[in-house]
Amino acid sequence: MGQPLFLAENFYSVAQFPGHTIVSAFATAPDQEAFRVGTARRSILNGTRNADPTNSLIVDVTADRIREADIIVFDRNSDIAGKTVTLDVSSEVGVFDTRVFVETMPTDVVLGSSLNDPAHMIRTNEGAWLLKFPAVAGLYWRVAVTPLASDSGRLGGVYLGKSFSPTHGGRLPFDDEETWLDFGVVRRGVPDNDVRHGRTGAFGMMMSGEAEWNEAKRQFRDLFGKGVPMWIAPDSDRAERTWFGYNAPGSMAAVFSERPQGRTVVVRADEYDPRLP
């Protein structure tokens, strides 16, 4: 059983990073601007596509400073299955000199997909894609989708950032005891009696040192605790079970404790806009 992994940070989110600039290399379709890939909305109506789909779909982000990333997630509202996707990075404007990956996006879910094997993109049970790669730093980042059958598709949610995986972590419930329940999805424009069936989980972790403790506070308190949704892989060796969680109203998101035995964190999340059966 692998360790849990979390991603709340997203370079493509101008809400998180107001100093970041997100642009498309080609003219986009009406109401399909490039910035929409970072809004965390999961509707198939949200995202970006080219006005001319025969062009490659290219979305660039210029960070406010050199930043390091080690994972990317494409949400289920992306239309990229079977297409070739690349990620490039650079510290010089207009010169993308480092190819992070080139991947043909899988159409099927493979059981036992491990985030510790960076050789392939992983498809999740609900249709998202994710890939963990060796950490790389840069100022300019480019995601590009090559057209397939003269169609470059659509990029829905795109999440690029630095993940957090503690050295000592537990999963409650365990993956083979996954808990499903009814809960109200509370978000703008949706009635509070709108009920979805989704996952919930509490994850207990012990921090191995000062660096992990500080990173846990950044991910779980400064981002997730303030309303930023978070990708959760309860078991990094079965990453096809990765899901998208949020801090439900009334929840403390994360409880930090400093004890003689060590520093511990317990994070609780509910699934955000789960796909109905």
Give the per-residue pLDDT at 93. 77
* Global model pTM greater than 0.75: yes
CB count, 10 Å around CB of 270? Answer: 21
Q: pLDDT digit of tens for each residue in the chain (277 aa)?
A: 678 899 999 999 999 999 999 999 999 999 999 999 999 999 999 999 999 999 999 999 999 999 999 999 999 999 999 999 999 999 987 788 899 999 999 999 999 999 987 668 999 999 999 999 999 999 999 999 999 999 999 999 999 999 999 887 654 444 444 444 334 444 434 444 444 567 888 888 888 888 999 999 999 999 999 999 999 998 889 999 999 999 877 777 888 888 767 788 989 888 898 876 5
Give the per-residue pLDDT at 190. 42
Torsion angle of alpha carbons 78, 185, 111, 224, nearest 10°? 80
- Measured distance CA(35)–CA(29) in Å, rounded: 13
Cα-based distances in Å from 175 to 141, 246, 256: 34, 19, 24
For the chain, first and last CA: distance in Å?
27
For residue 114, the Cα-to-chain-centroid distance in whole angstroms is: 16
